Amino acid sequence: MQQATILIVGCGDVGSTLGQMLLNQGHKVFGLRRNINQLPQGIQGISADLTNLENLKAALAEIDDCHILVYTAAASSHDEEGYEAAYVAGVQNTLNALPSKPKHLFFTSSSGVYHQNDSDWVDETSPCEPKSFSGKIMLKGEQQVLSADLPSTVVRFSGIYGPDRGYLINRVRGGDIAPAEPLHFSNRIHRDDCAGVLNFLIAKVLNGEAIDPCYLASDSNPVTMHEITTWIAKETKSQITSETVSRRAGSKRCSNKRIIEAGYRFKYPSYVDGYSELIDLDQESGDK
């Protein structure tokens, strides 16, 4: 595989992890974000504002042969304006600002585009009729990318967890778990597997292999919120004082069959694998 020029737009936690994987394979990696001070060594930082086309054009003027564009930007605010800017306008601005079209565009989306709430399975072929503004705008961003005049792939991540994403562990340590009823299935993927899936698909593209226009990336073990929170409580020896219903997303089970059949192997196929490591790290840091 020859060295490729790869631009990661919105190079945050997932993007930086991906960038390090790509650097280790000998690729040239650019990371675009507003503040580039936190980028890992080796990733060439580009400081720019996705909402300012002229600023973007100036920032990207030197990248005249982008093999892979990975768009992993996150909304700066949880409202319609913030989502439109990040997932619709930002993509279009980036494509308009680049001196030439990338050979392939990857767009990271979310399982929030699914509306299902019956605890059934969903996959890449399931209908998407989101009710929330966030799901609607994310789906709009997907459609814009897939209708663009260049090879494109959407990767829908479920709930991302990992280092510095300790909300659930902190909630349980505080004494709160999810009740057994109503039934609420939850889906998640470790930060390292988010980067791993993207790295895997990029390698296929660079090797000239065909990939699908959409992948649902989630671990192999959808579980109820009650199961995972009671397991964390046991592992952390937390005293439970309350049960709170959490319905931030519909109850569904995400199938990763397509990405598994493509050949990807999850580093953390279950919440037990990922959270065991996080709990151990948490305990180690607490002992210091």
Q: For position 31, which CATH number holds?
A: 3.40.50.720
Overall average pLDDT of the 72-95 stretch:
95
Does residue 149 lie within any of the structural domains?
yes
Which residues 6+ apart lie within 8 Å of 187 measured at CB? 111, 158, 159, 218, 219, 222, 252, 253, 254
pLDDT at 64: 85
Does residue 282 lie within any of the structural domains?
no
Does residue 242 lie within any of the structural domains?
no
Rg (the chain; Cα; Å): 19
pLDDT band at 166 (very low <50, low <70, confident <90, very high): confident
With 70 as the cut, is the pLDDT of residue 285 above it?
no
pLDDT digits (tens, 9 = 90+) for 220-238: 999 999 999 999 999 999 9
Overall average pLDDT of the 242-264 stretch:
90
Higher local confidence (pLDDT), 192 or 248: 192
Whole-angstrom distance, CA of residue 35 vs CA of residue 48: 8
pLDDT at 287: 40
Does residue 170 lie within any of the structural domains?
no
Does residue 109 lie within any of the structural domains?
yes
pTM for the whole structure: 0.96
pLDDT band at 249 (very low <50, low <70, confident <90, very high): low
Does residue 51 lie within any of the structural domains?
yes
Does residue 80 lie within any of the structural domains?
yes
pLDDT at 288: 37
Structural domain for 34, as ranges: 5-161+188-220+251-268
Q: How many domains does the chain have?
A: 1
pLDDT digits (tens, 9 = 90+) for 22-72: 999 999 999 999 999 989 999 999 999 999 999 999 999 989 899 999 999
Mean pLDDT of all residues in the chain? 94
Q: Please tell me the least confidently modeled range out of 13-22, 141-150, 209-218, 249-258.
A: 249-258
pLDDT at 283: 62
Does residue 88 lie within any of the structural domains?
yes
Q: How far is CA 80 from CA 59, 75, 92, 195, in A?
A: 27, 9, 17, 27
Which residues 6+ apart lie within 8 Å of 265 measured at CB? none
Q: Please tell me the least confidently modeled range out of 85-99, 177-191, 239-253.
A: 239-253
pLDDT at 248: 63
Whole-angstrom distance, CA of residue 154 vs CA of residue 141: 10
